């Protein structure tokens, strides 16, 4: 397209004198007009050289202005079309606008009326072209992102497979040593093997967590109504069954929770991670308690929460909680990979919500999260 001050106009009118006068007038105004006496000649001109705007008479012998409009838009979908009409055919001109015309102008012409219409039409033309270019860029970027995601997925799967093979060997052979040669090993050597197994299992868990974290951004959400109380009871029951004596069972309280519109599988993973943390960090607490409930927020929404009376944390370190691989407690006291809360954050954010935590050393922690299905992505 030419610059706005030198826009190319195609003027179609079967009255030669009127067409010529309009071309001369608009040329003086800085446009580049081209005149045609029929719709057929105009379409030929359009195929040979594009224009920015089509200004066509409504009533012409043979092909009328509406038919020309439709045919011209097939050649150039970005083209803006203005209909010229007399007083008696305004209703038909309005019909032309329903067919895709930008506007209409009345004969006999007044330059003061024509120029603002041309200016608006050319601005729309520029916006159409800019929007089309942006849409094309978005399509290209989306295709590039999809290709990059496929490559990343292939890489993570390959890396996971390649990492698991030596880990399985370490676990397998160390287990054989403990099983078949335990009586021949000293206490220190036996302890080394147990530590090797523990580290290998932790590495295997880390690989699982990283794979889960990498999939979260690409997994499509399957939104449905989720019974939050039933889900929390189910997760808490599974975790309680995994607590082995002499470790005490925490007392679990689950309120009557409002349902949520969410992806049930992802939400279950978030609750597993939050409740697992609560169970883990109340391990050494006297009268361990875990509480799942909701709390009203200042903006009128309700947040779900998981609260415990366990180890807690220093609020000065709260910003690190949801960063992958960041741990606020020693790994020899509390096991973990430092990825669980990052997974929770990713799940909550995909549901259009947010997650945050409050805590105090030795006095427990509370993790809050909201869900907003309207902003889910």
Span 33-65, pLDDT tens digits: 999 999 999 999 999 999 999 999 888 888 888
With contact defined as beta carbons under 8 Å apart, do 354 and 370 qualify? yes
Range from 190-199, 301-310, 333-342 carrying the lowest mean pLDDT: 333-342
pLDDT at 135: 92
pLDDT at 189: 86
With contact defined as beta carbons under 8 Å apart, do 31 and 76 qualify? no
CA pair distance 82, 121, nearest whole angstrom: 8
Q: What is the DSSP letter of 269?
A: H
Give the highest mean pLDDT range of 52-56, 60-64, 83-87, 201-205.
52-56
pLDDT at 333: 42
Q: Could you state, in order of their start, the residue ranges of all structural domains in the chain?
A: 4-109, 220-377
With contact defined as beta carbons under 8 Å apart, do 267 and 231 qualify? yes
Paired strand residues for 374: none
Q: Let me know the angle formed at the C-alpha of 25 by 22 and 27, rounded to the nearest 5 degrees.
A: 105
Q: 62: which residues sit within 8 A by CB, 6+ positions away?
A: 38, 39, 40
Collapsed DSSP state (helix, strand, coil) of residue 175: helix
With contact defined as beta carbons under 8 Å apart, do 31 and 37 qualify? no
What is the residue-averaged pLDDT of the chain? 85
Fold (CATH) for 220-377 = Heat Shock Protein 90 (3.30.565)
Give the highest mean pLDDT range of 49-53, 174-178, 318-322.
49-53
pLDDT at 332: 45
pLDDT at 118: 92
With contact defined as beta carbons under 8 Å apart, do 65 and 59 qualify? yes
Q: 171: which residues sit within 8 A by CB, 6+ positions away?
A: 197, 200, 201, 204
As a whole number, mean pLDDT of residues 134-142 equals 90
pLDDT in tens, 329-377: 555 445 555 678 888 998 999 999 999 999 999 899 999 999 997 777 7
pLDDT in tens, 114-133: 899 999 999 999 998 899 99
pLDDT in tens, 213-248: 666 766 678 899 999 999 999 999 999 988 877 777
CA pair distance 182, 185, nearest whole angstrom: 5
Q: 206: which residues sit within 8 A by CB, 6+ positions away?
A: 337, 339
pLDDT at 258: 94
Three-class secondary structure assignment of 93-122: HHHHHHCCCCEEEECCCCHHHHHHHHHHHH
pLDDT at 151: 74
- Residue 43 CB coordination number (10 Å): 19
pLDDT at 336: 52
With contact defined as beta carbons under 8 Å apart, do 145 and 218 qualify? no
Paired strand residues for 252: 290
- Alpha helix segments (H runs only) across 12-110: 16-28, 39-48, 65-75, 90-98
As a whole number, mean pLDDT of residues 287-311 equals 92
Residue 7 vs residue 96, higher pLDDT: 7
As a whole number, mean pLDDT of residues 304-333 equals 77
pLDDT at 4: 46
With contact defined as beta carbons under 8 Å apart, do 55 and 9 qualify? yes
CATH of domain 4-109: 3.40.50.2300
Q: Is there a cis peptide before residue 246, judged by omega within 30 degrees of 0?
A: yes
CA pair distance 279, 252, nearest whole angstrom: 9
Q: Which of 327, 314, 226 is nearest to 277 (CA)?
A: 327
pLDDT at 68: 92
């Amino acid at each position: 397209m030419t610059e706005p001050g030198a826009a190319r106009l195609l003027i179609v009118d079967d009255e030669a004198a009127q067409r010529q006068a309009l071309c001369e007038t608009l040329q003086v105004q800085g446009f580049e007009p081209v005149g045609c006496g029929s719709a057929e000649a105009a379409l030929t001109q359009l195929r040979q050289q594009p224009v920015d705007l089509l200004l066509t008479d409504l009533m012409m012998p043979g092909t009328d202005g509406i038919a020309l409009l439709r045919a011209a838009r097939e050649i150039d979908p970005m083209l803006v079309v203005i209909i010229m009409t007399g007083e008696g055919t305004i209703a038909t001109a309005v019909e032309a606008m329903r067919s895709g015309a930008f506007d209409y102008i009345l004969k006999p012409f007044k330059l003061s009326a024509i120029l603002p219409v041309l200016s608006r039409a050319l601005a729309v033309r520029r916006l159409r072209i800019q929007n089309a270019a942006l849409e094309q860029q978005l399509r290209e970027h989306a295709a590039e992102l999809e290709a990059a995601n496929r490559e990343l997925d292939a890489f993570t799967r390959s890396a996971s497979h390649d990492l698991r093979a030596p880990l399985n060997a370490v676990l397998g052979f160390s287990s054989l040593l403990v099983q078949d040669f335990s009586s021949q090993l000293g206490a220190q050597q036996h302890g080394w093997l147990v530590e090797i197994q523990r580290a290998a299992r932790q590495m295997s868990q880390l690989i699982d967590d990283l794979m889960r974290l990498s999939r979260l951004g690409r997994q499509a959400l399957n939104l449905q109504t989720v019974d939050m109380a039933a889900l929390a009871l189910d997760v808490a029951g599974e975790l309680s069954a995994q607590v082995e004596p002499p470790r005490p069972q925490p007392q679990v309280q689950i309120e009557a929770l409002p349902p949520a519109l969410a992806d049930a599988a992802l939400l279950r993973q978030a609750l597993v991670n939050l409740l697992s943390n609560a169970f883990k960090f109340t391990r050494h607490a006297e009268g361990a308690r875990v509480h799942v409930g909701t709390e009203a927020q200042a903006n009128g929404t309700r947040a779900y929460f998981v609260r415990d009376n366990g180890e807690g944390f220093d609020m000065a370190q709260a910003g690190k909680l949801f960063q992958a691989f960041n741990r606020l407690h020693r790994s020899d006291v509390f096991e973990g990979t430092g990825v669980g809360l990052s997974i929770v954050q990713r799940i909550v954010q995909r549901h259009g919500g947010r997650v945050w935590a409050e805590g105090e050393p030795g006095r427990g922690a509370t993790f809050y999260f909201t869900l907003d299905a309207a902003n889910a992505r």
